[in-house]
Structure 1
Amino acid sequence: MSDPQVQTNLTQPAYPAPASVDPRRRLRYLAEAAGAYAAFAFFRMLPVDAASAIGGWIFQILGPLAKAHRIAERNVLAALPELTAAARKDLLRGMWNNIGRVAGEYAHLRRLASDPRRVEIVDPGNLCARAVSSGTGALALSAHFGNWELFCVAAFRAGGRQVDVYRATNNPYVDTLLKRTRLAIPGHRLIPKGHGGMREIVSQLRLGRCIGMVVDQKTNEGIPVEFFGRSAMTTRTPAALARRFECPIFVAVVERVGGARFRIVVHDMKVARSDNRRDDVERTTRAISDILEAAIRAKPELWMWVHRRWPD
């Protein structure tokens, strides 16, 4: 029987198909999609460095005008109260620049992922290679940090295939573009959150595949874990899966090291195992959160502070 605590995070209702939405919403979706496809085509015509730089420049100008900027301001003030007003402003400017660069880089994901001069892997203990060759499957975890879409490159370079769990965007037309772009990365597959998602995750683990999850966002079905000194609801799915299937976990953080160049730093992750399943899951979840927090504290401008990570 499957573990209900594992299932809850991946059983969100599927988004409606385009034909099932009301006409006004469908028109809005089509207008949004037209803009997204036009932007994608524009960035695709540019060299990758130019696409990244222009995307960063656009978002650095427009981002502070968005409602999401106020969320980011509150989050930074609460999480990093020691920063001066000027430092917070610089951090948020850097955040928007990074998000814009990610947007510009979407059109070049395959090229970036395939170029070792663009994406360096730092894994001194060969943790990733050991995990993907374990025969038990593995869990690769990351955060919305740097260009998070590239964190699957660590498993691919180590000889594995990564299957990422993803949440569909509200706009099904835009979602089609994003899926197609992500699937262009070599050795990459996707599992949508929703009905049947957990069954597919278990199936892929049993085939020895690496399951990728971005685990830094709030989830109502999670457990409270301290994150930047505040309680934040955090997914327990990776910890529960690792304990149940005795598979290794590694955390791969994608640092932007300048322009459209990246360093993926692989962190070891010990899975707690004792006679107390609940305690093990909580301990492992806290350890994952601590690794991500340390990476964000080191380069806070690379994290996506616009998410409502904590209760207001």
Structure 2
Amino acid sequence: MSDKEEETVALSDRIANGAFLAIMGLAKILPYERRIPAMGWFFAHVLGPVAGWRKRIRTNLAKARPDLTEAEIRHLTRAVPDNAGRSLAEIYSGAEFINRIHASDPLCGAGLPALEQAAAAGRPVILAVAHFGNYDAMRAALTGRGWPVGALYRPMNNEAFNQHYIPAMQAIAEPMFPRGRSGLAAMLRFLKGGGWLSLGYDQFDGNGAILRFFDLPTKTVLTPAELAIRYDALILPIAGIRQPDGLSFRVEVGEPIPHSDPATMMQSLNDHLEAQVRAHMDQWFWVHRRWKERRTR
């Protein structure tokens, strides 16, 4: 970062960024097999409580899974941040992480043949992704097959953090398109030309359609389905599912979603994600405010 750039970054952001780099620097001293669980432990036992994540997890679980026992809830308040910490450490492990994914070639699932056919035909693809498992394991697995995948991303509010976070993501797969007019235009040109684009759909979207997730109403973005229809793109869910050893992944490609109307297509994706989350409750980011409620005056 140049001196001029440093002057425009708030002091609080520089302090937070410095703390993160110090923690990650210490973690990198450890061998990979110890580094990843160490960062998971830090998120579960230090960052999670300080950031208020445990309370948010409990709030969401009370809505979506009121059947869980107190012991199960307590486990998830630690396991969910643990997965998030491991995922961030994996991104910052660069070539170590990427080479592990490439060597294992973890792609599997009912939708893999359709993905292979799309690659052979040069057909555009919408990869519907969620904050589940490790999103970047999916990106690394696809590039390992020689299938570049683009992604739309929102730069962090902390500009100092962006200076290293964005390059870390770019090292796994490119192109990446920042949210905004120019990024959106470049993304659409990429997709129209037969590119593969990963788009998230599991966060609350104030402009979305009211669909169901865990049998609860929540606004869901329609953009992935709308783009698939507009550009005749294959659309299917894909997820990097962390395995019991905590280090390896199965990158599962779901069956393609038939083109119909956007709301029906996105409800199918919500249903698919719900099934995956129920099978791996600790791997979805239960911290998000997925079920926002209207404020009353």
Same fold per superposition (TM over 0.5): yes
2:35 is aligned with 1:40: no
Structure 2 match to 1:131 = 118
Structure 1 match to 2:78 = 93
Q: Give 1:121's aligned amino acid.
A: L
What is the aligned-residue identity percentage? Answer: 26
For residues 11-45 of structure 1, give each alpha carbon's deviation from its aligned partner in whole angstroms, at most 9, with x where no partner exists.
Answer: xxxxxx96796xxx711111111112223322333
Q: Give 1:67's aligned amino acid.
A: G
Q: Could you tell me whether the CA contact under 8 Å between 1:91 and 1:300 is conserved in 2?
A: yes
Q: Could you tell me whether the CA contact under 8 Å between 2:134 and 2:239 is conserved in 1?
A: no
RMSD over equivalenced CA pairs, Å:
2.0
108-117 or 259-268, larger mean C-alpha shift: 108-117
Q: Determine the C-alpha separation between the residues in 1 that align with 2:68 and 2:11.
A: 44
Q: Could you tell me whether the CA contact under 8 Å between 2:204 and 2:292 is conserved in 1?
A: no
Q: Could you tell me whether the CA contact under 8 Å between 1:49 and 1:259 is conserved in 2?
A: no
2:209 is aligned with 1:219: no
Structure 2 match to 1:106 = 91
Helix, strand or coil: the match of 1:163? strand
Structure 2 match to 1:239 = 225
Q: Give 2:203's aligned amino acid.
A: Q
1:310 CA displacement: 0.7
Q: Determine the C-alpha separation between the residues in 2 that align with 1:286 and 1:147.
A: 22
1:77/1:287 CA distance change after superposition, 3 Å: same
Which of 38, 41, 55 pairs up with 1:70? 55
Helix, strand or coil: the match of 2:155? coil
Q: Could you tell me whether the CA contact under 8 Å between 2:209 and 2:221 is conserved in 1?
A: yes
Q: Map residues 4-43 of structure 1 onto 2, 5 A cutoff.
A: 26-43=10-27
1:66 CA displacement: 3.0
2:180 is aligned with 1:199: no
1:128 CA displacement: 2.4
Q: Determine the C-alpha separation between the residues in 2 that align with 1:38 and 1:20.
A: 21
1:132/1:233 CA distance change after superposition, 3 Å: farther
Q: Which runs of 5+ in 1 are unaligned?
A: 1-16, 274-279
Q: Map residues 165-180 of structure 1 onto 2, 5 A cutoff.
A: 165-180=152-167
Give the number of equivalent residue pairs. 286
Q: Determine the C-alpha separation between the residues in 1 that align with 2:121 and 2:209.
A: 29
Structure 2 match to 1:142 = 129
Q: Could you tell me whether the CA contact under 8 Å between 1:141 and 1:215 is conserved in 2?
A: yes
Q: Determine the C-alpha separation between the residues in 2 that align with 1:227 and 1:286.
A: 8
2:44 is aligned with 1:57: no
Structure 1 match to 2:289 = 308
Q: Determine the C-alpha separation between the residues in 2 that align with 1:173 and 1:213.
A: 25
For residues 197-250 of structure 1, give each alpha carbon's deviation from its aligned partner in whole angstroms, at most 9, with x where no partner exists.
Answer: 321121001221111122211111211110011111111111000001101012
189-198 or 124-133, larger mean C-alpha shift: 124-133
Helix, strand or coil: the match of 2:93? helix
Helix, strand or coil: the match of 1:268? coil
2:64 is aligned with 1:79: yes
1:141/1:65 CA distance change after superposition, 3 Å: same
Q: Determine the C-alpha separation between the residues in 2 that align with 1:181 and 1:236.
A: 29
Q: Which runs of 5+ in 2 are unaligned?
A: none
150-159 or 168-177, larger mean C-alpha shift: 150-159
Q: Give 1:303's aligned amino acid.
A: W
- Structure-1-length-normalised TM-score: 0.85
Q: Map residues 289-308 of structure 1 onto 2, 5 A cutoff.
A: 289-308=270-289
- Structure-2-length-normalised TM-score: 0.89
Q: Could you tell me whether the CA contact under 8 Å between 1:252 and 1:266 is conserved in 2?
A: yes
Which of 249, 262, 267 pairs up with 1:262? 249
Q: Determine the C-alpha separation between the residues in 2 that align with 1:286 and 1:220.
A: 16
Q: Give 1:213's aligned amino acid.
A: L
Q: Give 1:41's aligned amino acid.
A: G
1:57/1:263 CA distance change after superposition, 3 Å: same
